[in-house]
Amino acid sequence: MRLRTILFAVLLFAAAMPLIGMVSLRVYENTLVRQTEAELVAQGAALAAVASLSWPDAAPQPPRPKDPPPGYFSPEFTTIDLSRDPVLPERPPARRTTQTADPEAARVARGLAPIVERTLRTTLASVAMMDARGVIVLGPHLGGSYADLPEVRDALKGDSRTVLRVNGDISPRYRFEWLSKASTIRLHYARPIVVDGDVRGVLLISRSPRALFRGLYEDRGKFLLAIGVIFGVLVLLASLVSRGVTRPVEKLSAAAREVAAGGGEIPATPRTAAAEIRDLYEDFGAMAERIERRSAYLRDFAAAVSHEFKTPLAGIRGAVELLQDHFDTMSPEDRRRFLTNIEGDSERLSQLVGRLLDMARADMATPEAGAAVDLVEPLRRVADAQLRPEFAVTVQVARDLPLVAVPAATIESVLDVLLQNARQAGARRVSVTAEATAEAVRVEVTDDGPGVSPADRARLFEPFFTSRRAEGGTGLGLSIARSLLAASHATITLADGEGATFQLILPRADS
């Protein structure tokens, strides 16, 4: 699967999660049921208020105060939860009883009957009224008793209650109606009729809630609009993701294949790419540039190695051929001269191989963890080792010089290269100074030799570049020194001044 397909699928699933949760967790269906319960509560409150005011001995109600006291309003909230409340069996028929109905309750019921009849035309609810003993005075089964029903018992005690019961009169009409729990239940709400603080009767109101699919159908316009808006947002987000992520990644992937094949150009960073993708483009550009620079370095290095090895090998081969062809006719002096040439060229090859191994180790060197070296000791050791009657080395180090994060072996190797180069260039005195800065230690090595010509300064640190090839110089010493220092995040540069002045910047161990 392509990345844009995966992202679109993830976004689509995230957008569908509310609908999935609404159906699977019955959130929407529970809302429909509670809406029905709220309607029954409102209808029951109105009918119970009319019945209590119609009671023969009810005290006249005072007018509503301008500023109602605390507790004057007592709203009744819905309590039904489809996932928590049990579904009771279908409401049984009214129980026969020998008790006679309360005459006052029957008289109120007769007066309430027209109001109930006109109300039921709109609400489609079923209403029954009972006296204080549960005997039915209004509705089906007159003279029977609902006193045994749990919701009626609670109402006779003065508490309103709503229960869920099986609706036996409903038969499934839809194929997927089994998904809706509310399609087979009916809400039964019992509310006491209170007159002067006493329960004089009970109203039992029942109604079926809107089924899930009927509710969805009735709200189809809202759902279709929501689906359209969500799908539009998904398309917009997918387009943004495509322009900001997938297209730049595909472009970068194609560029990587071209670079791997040895061609291609580094692509420009797309303006619409995300911040992380822009960083990836910049990292890719830096990586490709370093690979190109490294490849050029390897090509030049291979050419230089080939050239450096070719000269002594040609000398050895020529001397061997002359010895093979004219060994018997040669004088002893010529033989010794050719053998000496072979020995010299072999020594040069051996020196080149050794230097190349040193350079390979320097290029592969890594920072030494936790390195903290006192600079004074390696400086003095190298100075003492290079000291000659005709070659003087002085070391001047500032007091309280901080430790440096460069191994002592690296410092000694680099300083040894610089002192050897100075002596071989004809210098007679070398001064080594060191002082601390805010984040590093600066070391300067200055000699009184002829210095470096302006034409050679740019190539001084290139491998195999030397102005003393006739004296056996390999041109690898300064390259090795630079690689060793770079492994410890240190640098070496040629500074301006009389003679040759090299400046080393060594990182402090405490920075």
pLDDT, tens digit (0-9, with 9 covering 90-100), for 6-58: 777 777 777 777 666 655 556 777 888 899 999 999 999 999 999 999 998 88
Assess whether 331 and 380 both reside in one domain.
no
Is residue 178 scored above 60 in pLDDT?
no
The per-residue pLDDT for 164 is: 94
User: Do residue 347 and residue 470 come from a single domain?
Assistant: no
Mean pLDDT of the chain, nearest integer? 81
Model pLDDT, residue 23:
58
Tell me what the mean pLDDT of segment 81-110 comes to: 91
- Whether residue 295 is predicted with pLDDT greater than 60 in this model: the reply is yes
Same domain, 187 and 312: no
CATH code of 382's domain: 3.30.565.10
**Is-contact 123 43, C-beta < 8 A?**
yes
The H-assigned helical ranges of 66-194 are 103-123, 150-156
> Within this chain, do residues 494 and 401 fall inside the same structural domain, yes or no?
yes
Give the side-chain half-sphere CA count within 13 A for 420: 18
DSSP state string for 415-428: HHHHHHHHHHTT-S
Looking at residues 341-353, what average pLDDT do you find?
Answer: 77
Query: If you count DSSP H runs as helices and E runs as strands, how many of each does the chain have, helices first?
Result: 13, 11
CB 394 within 8 A of CB 430: yes
Per-range mean pLDDT, top range of 127-136, 288-297, 481-490 = 127-136
Give the model's pLDDT for residue 102. 93
Please state the rounded mean pLDDT for residues 457-475.
62
Residue 13 and residue 146 in one domain: yes
Better pLDDT: 5 or 173: 5
| Contact (CB, 8 A) for 445 and 378 | no
Instruction: Confirm whether 306 is domain-assigned.
Output: yes
Among 326, 343, 362, the domain boundary falls at 362
d(C-alpha 450, C-alpha 456), whole Å: 13
Residue 115: pLDDT band with limits 50, 70, 90: very high
Helix (H, G, I), strand (E, B) or coil at 375: coil
- Asked if residues 105 and 137 have their Cβ atoms less than 8 Å apart, the reply is yes
In a domain, 486, yes or no: yes
Q: Do 396 and 287 share a structural domain?
A: no
- Does residue 453 belong to any structural domain of this protein? yes
- pLDDT of 149 > 90? The answer is yes
Tell me if 456 sits within 8 A of 467, measured CB to CB.
Answer: yes
Count other C-beta atoms under 10 Å from residue 385's C-beta: 12
**Whole-number Å distance between alpha carbons of 480 and 355:** 8
Q: Cα–Cα distance between 209 and 239 in angstroms, integer?
A: 43
Answer whether residue 383 is part of any domain.
yes
227 within some domain: no
* Lowest-pLDDT range of 103-107, 359-363, 502-506: 359-363
Residues in CB range of 54: below 8 A, 6 or more apart: 108, 111, 112
Give the pairing type, strands 392-397 and 429-436. parallel
Return the H-helix or E-strand segment holding 325: helix 275-326
Are 296 and 403 members of one domain? no
Mean pLDDT is highest, among 247-256, 312-321, 426-435, 450-459, for: 426-435
| Residues 329 and 378 occupy one common structural domain | no
pLDDT value of residue 392: 87
Angstrom distance (rounded) from CA 355 to CA 124:
103
CATH number at residue 300: 1.10.287.130
Specify if 487 maps to a domain: yes
Instruction: Say if residue 377 is in the same domain as residue 426.
Output: yes
* Domain endpoint, select from 218, 237, 257: 218
| 474 phi/psi in degrees, rounded to 5 | -95, -20
pLDDT confidence of 288, banded at 50, 70, 90? confident
pLDDT over 80 at 183, yes or no: no
pLDDT of residue 307: 60
CA end-to-end span of the chain: 49
pLDDT winner (highest mean) among 290-294, 410-414, 458-462 = 410-414
Give a yes or no: residue 32 inside a domain: yes
**Mean pLDDT (whole number) for 136-143:** 92
Pick from 198, 87, 208, 96: nearest CA to 147: 96
45 with 164, same domain: the answer is: yes
pLDDT bucket at 126, cuts 50 / 70 / 90: very high
Domain span at residue 31? Answer: 3-58+73-218
Question: Can you read off the two tokens belonging to residue 449?
Answer: 């030799």
Burial code (b: 16+ CB inside 10 Å, e: under 16) for 300-318 equals ebeebeeebeeebeebbee
Most confident of 289-293, 304-308, 473-477: 289-293
pLDDT of residue 193: 95
pLDDT (average), residues 442-463: 80
Q: Does a structural domain hold residue 137?
A: yes
Please tell me the predicted confidence (pLDDT) of residue 70: 78
Q: Tell me the per-residue pLDDT of 35-48, one tens digit each, with 9 for 90 and over.
A: 999 999 999 999 99
Number of separate domains in the chain: 3
Query: Are residues 53 and 176 part of one domain?
Result: yes
| CATH code (residue 186) | 3.30.450.20
**pLDDT of residue 269 exceeding 80:** no
Residue 379: count other Cβ atoms within 10 Å of its Cβ: 23
Final residue in a domain of this structure, among 218, 233, 264: 218
Give the pLDDT mean for 397-416.
84
Same domain assignment for residues 331 and 372? no
pLDDT at 363: 61
**pLDDT for the residue 252:** 80
The pLDDT of residue 381 is above 60: yes
The phi and psi torsions of 353 (rounded to 5 degrees) equal -60, -45
